[in-house]
Structure 1
Amino acid sequence: MGVVRVLIHCLPFNVLVNHLNKRLARFVFLVWAGLATASFTGCSKEAAMPRLAGEGATAPDAYLVSSTLIGEYPASELAARIPEVPIAGALVRYPIRVYRLTYRTRNTDGQFIMASGALLVPVGTGQALPVLSYQHGTIRPDEEGRAPSYYRSGSEVWSVVSVLASTGYMVSAPDYIGYGASKAFPHPYEQAASLASASLDMLRAAREFAGQQQVTLNQKHFLLGYSEGGFATMALHKLMEEQYSAEFPVTASAPGAGAYHKSAFADYILKVDKPLSFLSTYVWVLDTYNRVYGINRPFAYYYNQPWATQLQADLYSAVPDRAALLFTPAFQQGILNRTDQAMLAAFRANDIHDWRPKAPLALFHGTADDYVPFFNSKDAYNAMHLRGATQVELRPIAGGNHFSSVTEYTLQAYAFISQYR
C-alpha cells in the first residue's frame, strides 16, 4: 500500500483516474447518486424577497456562533470506509477532525438566522491549507439526516468528501437553509441567492474557526458540487467573484449537472411532449419561487385537479409524468407566451448561466441527462465565452445520464481543481 500511496501522490491525477477500477466506479455511484434524488417539502407562506450576503442589514461582527467536535478519524479508518475499493484507500493521506459549526446567515427575507454545516480539517499536514467549499445535492425532506452537519455513515460527506479532506483540503460543507440548525425553515430549493449566501457565510464561519484553532489557511478557494450542489456552486462562484473577490478569491470551481438556465429549463418542461421523471422536483421549485418572491398564488393556479388539492395537502405526493396533465393551461400559456411577468422574473433571477467568470471553471454534465438537460451547461459555456471568459471549459460526459455521470464527475472534478492547488 505504501508504494501505491506514493504513486497516487506523485502521478498526474488523470493517470490515477485511468487506474481506478470498476469497483471504485460502483462505490462512487452508490454514494453520490443520492445527490440527484429529487423530492420536495411543505411550504411556509411568508412573502419575502431574496437578498444576497452583504445586502441590506448590517453584517454581524462574527458569523461563527459555536463549534462542536464530532470526532477525529485516523487515516486507516477513513480508508476502511471504502472496503469495496481497496485502491481508493490509498487516496487517504491525513487523519481528519470533523466539526459541526453553527453560524449566522440570512434567510430569504433578509433576516439573520442560525444555520449549520460540517467542517472537515486534515491534521498534521505541516502546511497552510487550501479551502474546498462542497455544496451538497438535493436532500429529501424525509432524509434530513443526510445533511453534512449530521456526519452520518453512508452520506457523501462521511465517505467521499472525507477522503477529499484527507488529501489536504479544509472542507466547508454547508447544510443550506432548511436543514440542521435551520430545519424549522423551508429549504429554498434551487434559489440561487440563498444557496450562495448560506455557503459564503459558512466559509466566513470556517475562517473564523480556523483563526480560533490556529489552523493556517492559504488564499486558495475551490468549489465543488453536483446537481443542486452544481447550481449552488455556480451561484457561489458568481457571488464571490462579483461581490467578494478580495475577501474570498476563487481559485477554481467545478460544478456538475446544475440547472443554470432556469428560463430555458421552464420552457423545455412545458413544451416537451414526453414523460418527465422529474416533474415532482419542478413542483418544489415552483413552490419555492411562489413563496420567496411574494407571488403567493394558490395551488389551483399552477396545477390541474385532482393534483392541486393533493399537492396542497402533501407537496411530497406523486404527480403525473406529463406536463400537460399536471400544469394548468393558464400557467403554461403565461410562461410560453411571456405574459406571466411575476414568475418569468423569478426564473430570470435564477438564471446564473450568463456572466463572466475570471477563475478557471469546468462545467461537467452528462450528454444524455434527461433529469437536468445538458443544454444548461452548454448554454452557460456559450454565454460565458460570448462575454469574453477565457478560462471556462465544457466537459461533456458522453452518454452519461444524471445518475451514471456522477462517478466520472467526481474523479474529473477532483483532477481539475488539483492542478491549481
Structure 2
Amino acid sequence: MSDESHKSPEKRTSRRARQGLAGVAALLLVGLAVAPVAAAGEQRIEARGTLVSVTPVADRDIRQVKEFLAGQDVASDPVRYGVRAYRLTYRTVDPYGRPTTATGLLTLPKGGAHRLDLVSDTHGTMVHRAYAPSAGEDFGRIPSYLNAGAGRSVAAPDYLGLGEGPGPHPYMDTASSVTASVDMLRAARTAADRLDRPLTGDVYATGFSQGGQVATALGKALAQGADRHFRLRALAPVSGPHDLEGQEMPGLYDGRVNDTSGVFYISYWLVAQNRLHPIYKAPSEVFRVPFASRVEALFDGNHEQEDVVKALAPSVKRLLTPAFYERLRHPAGPLLDAMRSADHTCDWKPGVPVRLYDGDNDTDIPIGNTRACADTLVGQGARVRVVDQGAVDHFGSLAVSAPQVVRFFDTVRG
C-alpha cells in the first residue's frame, strides 16, 4: 500500500533533495500565484467539488519531463509534450459527511487537443502530507507527468488530510477516498475551463497501491452515476490492496508481506480505522510497550516514513500484544467490519476495458490481491486482463506499469 518505501531511506532522501530544487524552481516561475475562486471569509456552504483556489506549482518542458521520469527509472517514450501542473483546493466532505476541504494536482499538457480527456490518478500510501502529489515533485507525480505528457489532463487527489487538507488522513477509508476523488474531478473540470483547456467528460481511472484500490472503487462509483458529467472509459489499477480480509491480512502471518512494510501498514491502518470503527479504547489494548505510547502520534501527517518505521517494532508479532495478534489473525466484530469496508470494490461489472497490473515479487501487496479482484470482476461477467510484470517488487510494478497504462489508454481512445 506504500509508495514511500520503494527505495532505501538514503536513496529516497537524496532524490527528494534533487527534486526539491526542481520544485523550488517551479514556484519561482513568472506569474505563479494563488488564484482564489471563493471570496475570503465567505461563510456559505458550497457544493461538493466547488473550486476554492488554483495555484501553479510546476511548468516543465518535454526535456524536463523526460529527465524527471528517467530519474525515477520510468520509461518516457509516451511523452510528447511538456506539462503544467496546478494545486487545486476544493470543497468536499470528511468521513462523517461534514464539509471540509482537500487538495489535489491538476496536470495539463503543453500542446495537443484543446478539449482534453481526463485521467484520474490515485496515489499510494503516504504518511507525510508533503509527499502528496500537489505538495512535492516526487514519485507521486509519475503517472501525472506521463499521462499529461501523452496529451491528457490528469486529476490526482491528495485525499483527505494530505497535501494542504486539514485533519488526519483516514487511511484506507474507501468511502471518503472516493468522495474526495469524485470531488477532485469536479474541481478539475472547473479549473480546466478557467485555464481554457475544457474537458471532454471521458475519464480513465488508474492508481497505484492504496490508489489501485481507490481507482477500482472510483470506477465503480462513476459507472453507477456518481456524476453525470463524467463517463468511465477504462480502468487500470496497479498493485492495489483489493482483498484485506482474504489476502493482505493473512499475508502478515505467512510471510507474503515483509516485516517492515507489515509493521508500517498495520500500525497506520489500526490508528486510522480506530477513528471510524471501535477497534480499541486505548492503544495499550493493541500495541506492546513502548509502542503503545507513541504510535498514534507517529501518524499525524508530519513524520517521515523512515522515522515512523524506526520508532516501531521490527515485526508485527513484536508490535502487537499477544491477544490482539491472535484477534487480528481471526478478525470479528468492528475489526472485521473495518476490513470489509475497504474490500468489495471489485464486485461490479465494468462496461469498459479493464487491465490489472502487478508483480510477482511484491511483498508489500502480494499479487493475490490482484488475482482476487480479477476473479471477482470476471465472476460479475466483466472482461479483465491481468498484466503480470514478473519478478518486480512493489515500486517496480509502478515503474514498469505506468507507461504501459498510458499506452493502454491510447488504445482505448483510438
Fold match, TM over 0.5?
yes
- What 5-or-longer segments of structure 2 have no aligned partner? 10-44, 300-307
What whole-Å deviation, never above 9, does each CA across 1:154-211 have from its counterpart, x for those lacking one?
A: 4442x663242022101111111112221x3111112211211111100000111223
What SS class does the counterpart of residue 181 from structure 1 fall into?
Answer: coil
**Residue among 386, 396, 400 paired with 2:379:** 386
Residues matched between the structures, number = 365
List aligned pairs for 1:134-283, cutoff 5 A.
134-141=121-128, 144-152=129-137, 154-157=138-141, 161-182=144-165, 184-244=166-226, 246-265=228-247, 267-269=249-251, 271-272=253-254, 276-278=259-261, 279-283=263-267
Residue 73 of structure 1 is matched in structure 2 by 60
The answer to whether the aligner puts 1:122 opposite 2:94 as a matched pair is: no
Aligned partners of 2:83 and 2:411: how far apart in 1? 22
Q: Which residue of 1 aligns with 2:285?
A: 301
Give 1:59 shift. 7.0
CA–CA separation in structure 2 for the residues paired with 1:177 and 1:277:
25
1:110 and 2:82 aligned: no
Q: Structure 2 CA distance, aligned partners of 1:85 and 1:268? A: 31
Please, what is the CA RMSD of the aligned residues?
3.0
- Superposed CA deviations along residues 219-244 of structure 1, whole A, max 9, x for unmatched, are 32111221122122122112222342
Counterpart AA for 2:189 = R
Q: Which residue of 2 aligns with 1:4?
A: none
One-letter amino acid matched to 1:170: S
For residues 103 and 116 of structure 1, do their structure 2 counterparts lie closer, same or farther at Cα, with a shift above 3 Å needed?
same
Which position in structure 2 is the counterpart of 1:46? none
Change (3 A) 1:76 1:377: closer
Q: CA 1:272–1:163 in 2, change beyond 3 Å: closer, same or farther?
A: closer
Q: Which residue of the partner structure matches residue 419 of structure 1? A: 411
**How does 1:355-366 map onto structure 2 within 5 Å?**
355-358=347-350, 359-366=352-359
Question: Does the residue aligned with 2:274 lie in a helix, a strand or coil?
Answer: helix
Quickly say closer, same or farther: Cα 1:309–1:217, change in 2 above 3 A. closer
Pair 1:64 & 2:46 matched: no
Q: CA deviation at 1:126?
A: 3.7
Looking at structure 2, the residues matched to 259 and 370 of structure 1 have their Cα atoms a distance apart, in angstroms, of 12
Change (3 A) 1:203 1:37: farther
Task: Determine the C-alpha separation between the residues in 1 that align with 2:8 and 2:251.
Answer: 15
Residue 308 of structure 1, CA deviation: 2.1
Deviation at 1:35, TM superposition (A): 6.7
Q: Is the 8 A contact 2:48 2:183 kept in 1?
A: no
SS at match of 1:405: helix
Q: Does 1:346 align with 2:338?
A: yes
- Out of 359, 366, 384, the residue aligned to residue 373 of structure 1 is 366
Tell me if 1:96 matches 2:83: yes
Within 1, Cα distance between the matches of 2:177 and 2:73? 35
Distance, in Å, in 1 between the alignment partners of 2:252 and 2:61 is: 51
Structure 1 position 113, deviation (Å):
0.9
| CA–CA distance in structure 1, aligned partners of residues 279 and 4 of structure 2 | 31
Distance 1:290 1:206, change over 3 A: same
How far does residue 255 in structure 1 lie from its aligned partner after superposition?
A: 0.7
Distance in 2 of aligned mates of 1:320 and 1:71: 39
Percent identical among aligned pairs is: 28
Q: Aligned partners of 1:370 and 1:75: how far apart in 2?
A: 34
Deviation for aligned residue 1:82? 5.2
CA contact (8 A) 2:248 2:365 kept: no
Q: Contact 1:269/1:323 (CA < 8 Å) preserved in 2?
A: no
Q: Match for 1:330: what amino acid?
A: A
Tell me, yes or no, if the aligned pair for 1:371 and 1:402 is still in contact at 8 Å: yes
CA contact (8 A) 1:234 1:255 kept: yes
Query: In 2, are the aligned partners of 1:353 and 1:384 still within 8 Å (CA)?
Result: no
Name the CA distance, whole Å, in 2 between partners of 1:408 and 1:353: 24
Alpha carbons of structure 1 residues 304 and 77: separation in structure 2 relative to 1, 3 Å? closer
AA matched with 2:360: T
| Structure-2-length-normalised TM-score | 0.79
* 3-state SS of 1:231 partner: helix
1:412, distance to aligned residue in structure 2 (A): 2.2
Instruction: Report deviation, 1:365.
Output: 1.1
| Partner in structure 1 of residue 39 of structure 2 | none
Q: CA deviation at 1:295?
A: 4.1
